[in-house]
Amino acid sequence: MSVIKFGTDGWRAIIAQDFTFDNLKIVAQGIANYMKIHNLSKRGVIIGYDNRFLSEKFAHSCAEVFLGNGIKTYMFHVAVPTPVTAFAIRHLEAGGAVMITASHNPPEYSGIKFIPEYAGPALPDVTNEIEEEIQRIIDGGKVYELEVEEAQALDLFEEINLDKEYISHLMHIIRVDAFQDRNLKIVVNPMYGSGIGYLDHILMELGCEVKTINNYRDAFFGGSMPEPTDEILSDMKRMVQTFEADLGLALDGDADRFGLVDADGSFISPNRFAYLLFDHLIQTRTFRGPVCRTIATTHMLDQVAKDNGLSVVETPVGFKYISQGLREKGCILGIEESGGLSIFGHIPEKDGILACLLAAEMVAYSGKTLGELEQDFEERYGSIVSRRFDIRVSPEEHVRIRFLLDEYQPRTIAGVKVDEINDTEGKKFIMEDGSWVLIRASGTEPVFRIYVEAVTEDRLAEIYEDVKTSLEIETD
């Protein structure tokens, strides 16, 4: 078998190739060992799962391993979003949770992530320790199992449903009063995932008129991927315009990421929503704190923070680091450019349902579209454009370009002086005009990600072309 490694958010692999029942049980045993070593096992474990192929069966196998280790197991009776599984840790004061999900990956993938007792993504020290336990098991350790029926007789297994509690919690976070006398028309798209039945239920309870699409389980995700990106949300864009909706709200496969479509059918990127939401929270909430963003997320957040006397916490890529900022720095908002978000008072786990509700709240509160809110924002803070380019190369090219990137130390990029170089993750260059570029090599596939932000589209294009030329990256 191939080595089991936890990536940015758990272990994911192709079903029946590497993601097998036997391998999954080894991972579950590794997690059980970790929980026992750290005295978390006596608090019990939560198990959630998404709508992918065999997810409920995989969850059941995990449960039998935890039960075999004498760990009280609370398993959701149906597929649930990742944020609901994380919420259950806090609600039941459990020692952690396991979520069977491959999030927004293609249909042939499944995955497992461990969410520690603080209800946010596991940091590298946790996953490294779990990987060490997994290797010990592979090298001759034992996997312990106990059937659910036997465990029920010992009061070790309990099926749970916490929808009511989770929704009640969200209702205390959003501004419910903003929806009074505002009959919003909203299109909801759970993308066939485990977020089905959440957003539409909450929004209707808030008095919105809701049209839902892709709201049934489909393990093939309509022949696409459950990723709420500009390219994939074409059906929701059309429906927003046909329905004459105020907003379109999408969730990824496990509902921890979001996608937004404005009233005119245009896609609103997470970067654009980030600074609009930050400004909205400052205007409508009394709590204050830093804003936490990844190294790849828009610097417009920094401008808003500066103008409002707040600080910025910058982290490496990965919501696990945002989660740490939310927990330890008292951040008002934690967000990443790929669509992960949480705010003060909520669990330190990304939550697409919360993000979508906050977008609806902004529209209801202001009586304006997101585009109109952006126009208002630009009058106060200025404008900025951001873009991410994913460039796939051959494995040989990947090695060659990584070497060039290690040596890349330009004094100017596209004719503008480089003020600062940040090599926390990849290489990030900040120019004296405020524009910046980050180049990251994927650790799992031969892909380079180039993030660029500038005041104009032309300037952004110049920076992108300069970097590609300097690193000898060829694109079609």
In this structure, is residue 325 part of a structural domain?
yes
What distance in Å separates the CA atoms of residue 24 and residue 17, rounded to the nearest whole number? 12
Element containing residue 305 per DSSP (H, E): helix 300-307
191 with 203, same domain?
yes
- What's the CA gap between 50 and 158, in Å, rounded? 18
CATH number where 262 lies: 3.40.120.10
Task: Please report the pLDDT score of residue 76 as a whole number.
Answer: 98
**Structural domain includes residue 6:** no
Average pLDDT over residues 153-180: 96
Q: How confident is the model at residue 69 (pLDDT cuts 50, 70, 90)?
A: very high
Looking at the structure, do residues 83 and 141 belong to the same domain, yes or no? yes
Residue 445: how many other CB atoms lie within 10 Å: 11
Same domain for 332 and 428, yes or no, is no
Angstrom distance (rounded) from CA 143 to CA 26: 6
Question: pLDDT grade, residue 1 (50/70/90)?
Answer: low
CB atoms within 10 A of CB 71: 26
Q: Which of 71, 79, 52, 61 is nearest to 22 (CA)?
A: 61
- Write down which residue in 161, 196, 224 finishes a domain: 161
> Do 20 and 42 contact (CB within 8 A), yes or no?
no
Q: Is residue 219 part of a domain?
A: yes
pLDDT in tens, 330-367: 999 999 999 999 999 999 999 999 999 999 999 999 99
324 and 392 fall within a common domain: no
Residue 1 lies in a domain: no
Distance separating alpha carbons of residues 435 and 296, to the nearest angstrom: 13
Q: What is the spatial distance between Cα 249 and Cα 274, in angstroms, rounded to a whole number? A: 15
Mean per-residue pLDDT for 129-153? 94
Give CA–CA dist 315/322, Å, rounded.
Answer: 7
Whether the pLDDT of residue 147 is over 70: the answer is: yes
Are 295 and 311 found together in one domain? yes
Written as one letter, the residue type at 399 is V
pLDDT category, 9, cuts 50, 70, 90?
Answer: confident
Query: Do 295 and 316 have their domain in common?
Result: yes
Residue 162 pLDDT grade (very low, low, confident, very high; cuts 50, 70, 90): very high
Domain that holds residue 130: 11-161
> Given 161, 194, 229, which residue is the final one in a domain?
161
The pLDDT of residue 5 is 82
* Residue finishing a domain among 332, 352, 381: 381
Residue 210 lies in a domain: yes
Residues 149 and 112 placed together within one structural domain of the fold: yes
> Computed from CA positions of residues 8, 12, 18, 20, in that sequence, does the dihedral angle turn out positive or negative?
positive
Nearest 5°: CA angle at 275, between 273 and 277? 65
For residue 32, the model assigns a pLDDT of 98
For residue 215, tell me if it sits in a domain.
Answer: yes
pLDDT digits (tens, 9 = 90+) for 387-416: 999 999 998 999 999 999 999 999 999 999
What pLDDT is stored for residue 445 in this prediction? 75
At 401 the pLDDT is 93
Token pair recorded at residue 136: 């010990």
76 and 205 in a single domain? The answer is no
Q: Is 158 helix (H, G, I), strand (E, B) or coil?
A: strand
Q: Does residue 5 sit within a domain?
A: no
Q: For 87-104, what is the mean pLDDT?
A: 97
Structural domains in the chain (count) = 3
Based on the fold, state whether residues 40 and 156 are members of the same structural domain.
yes
What does the pLDDT look like over 209-243, one tens digit per residue?
Answer: 999 999 999 999 999 999 999 999 999 999 999 99
Q: How confident is the model at residue 309 (pLDDT cuts 50, 70, 90)?
A: very high
Q: Which of 143-152, 158-167, 341-350, 444-453 has the lowest mean pLDDT?
A: 444-453
Q: Average per-residue pLDDT in the chain?
A: 95
**Whole-angstrom Cα distance, residue 355 to residue 270?**
10
Q: 425, 316 in Cβ contact below 8 A? A: yes
**CA distances (Å), 255 to each of 50, 99, 250, 366, 428, in order?**
9, 12, 9, 26, 30
Asked whether residue 475 carries a pLDDT value surpassing 90, the answer given is no
The answer on 365 and 224 residing in a single domain is: yes
Instruction: Answer whether residue 44 shows pLDDT above 80.
Output: yes
**Could you identify the residue written with the tokens 């786990």?**
349
Q: What is the mean pLDDT of residues 263-281?
A: 98
Task: Quickly count: other Cβ atoms within 10 Å of residue 413's Cβ.
Answer: 21
Percent of the chain residues past pLDDT 90, beyond the cut: 93
**Please, are residues 471 and 404 in contact by the beta-carbon 8 Å criterion?**
yes
The answer as to whether 4 is a domain residue is no
pLDDT score, position 4: 85
Judge if 313 and 415 occupy the same domain: no
**Same domain assignment for residues 214 and 301:** yes
Which pLDDT value is given to residue 368?
A: 97
Under a CB-based contact definition with an 8 Å cutoff, are residues 199 and 174 in contact? no
